[in-house]
Structure 1
Amino acid sequence: MSFAGVSLVGDGEAVGHAINVSAASGYHLLVVNRYSHIKATTPNGGKVVSLPFTVGGHRWRISCYPNGDRSDCADSVSLYFRLDENAVEGLKVQYGFSFIDELEKQDSTYIRAKEADNFSSSHPSWGYRNFMKRDALEKSKHLKDDCFTIRCDVAIATTVDLHIKVPPSSIKQHISDLFLSEEGTDVTFMVSGQKFAAHRCVLAARSVVFKAELLGSMKEGTVASVIDVEDMEAKVFRPCLTLFTPTRCPRWR
């Protein structure tokens, strides 16, 4: 995550330094100073706002409501992440708020695992109405010297075209080439004194008869490497053998 600057709010407008981050991910720090004063002077629905900062080519702000953004969460601190520009098309964004010392929530894999929200001109703001109960914050280690720091991590969700054009299968041609080359053959048929080499697994895959003959006996260790075929001529057996091999072999006469 790239550092996108820091905003300090305490009394009046935010000050600090915002950094324009062109990368698709980054983080900005919101330092809430003089928390007791802000809580006492900001009514329910009132907020303090960060400086505008840029991540992924878009401008953003962080809004903190110390007394909640609505009456039904007046006992909580509300946090919102806001798109600070007009965007006709929605932006899919993953974001997360954490206190500066919550390192486990600031890992990029943690942010990327979050569900992306859709930011647009019609819905520019997303966040947490009940980010933390105010009394819990005031008793926590996160509030030190009347100050706490929120880190907002941002990742612009990118879409990747995973459609891959798969070429036509050439397995038939490959098996045909293997059959014609006789490479790797492991069984031989002897027909009328002529030998025909073949691949046991190909024949077994194409014929239940060959499967029972070649693989069934293999389990018992009794299969022969040369099988005699009787009562058939070689010129008849060869085209029969090619029928069980998905090849593009020429016709045999």
Structure 2
Amino acid sequence: ECNRLSHELKNSKNTVKRYETMITCRDELIKNHNLLYVKLPEPNPDIDLFITPTIMNGNFTQEETDNTNYEEKAELITIESAKLLNLNNESLDSKLKAFQNEIQDSRENIKNLTEKIKDERNKNELKQLSQISNAETEKDVAVNIKTTRQLNEYKLKITKLEQEKTSLNNDILRFTTKLKRYKENNDKAEDEIENIKSINRKLQRLVRSLETKVDDLNSKNASLLHRITKKKNSRKKSGETNC
């Protein structure tokens, strides 16, 4: 009987060691994949599309395990996703709105510049028509000189406005590219977060199961140790009686 109990105790210790090794492997898996725990507050749709997460300790604790709403308060994400979501206290939605507003302002500026260019060209045409009448008087010559000077000034203004229009078009193209990239990153981040949530839930279930088994094995070990001690004491007393 004592040998059987010793064998059961040894098996129980091996089982506990195996479970502890599994938990260690679990933690190493999280570490090797650069996973982090982030605190995800309850989102408020009236304020923002995204709420910037808060990075937490990635180790499992008893307090975290006992929280009934643990999955709603913290999730596992990669470091790259944490950097993407941590936008200097600005939400991704606010950045997208800012880009859209800048694009809209640039388009309005281009429209205004186009109208100005059209007006300047009309003025230029009128000046050219007035210059056609080549009067021979000194007064007309002075007017023609002044008109030529104004035409040159208008040409410079038109050139400058066209350069500004080109610059604004480039800004719109750049903002549109940034907006597209942010949206793509947002979609990828959402997919990655969903996958990590699934992994997180599986790991939590595994940890709870392992902790339950470890507790059961510890209780069983304590019971076996008590029985072995009792057997040893009984044999010792029996030997003293025989003597």
Q: TM-score, normalised by structure 2?
A: 0.24
- Give the helix-richer structure, 1 or 2: 2
Q: TM-score, normalised by structure 1?
A: 0.24
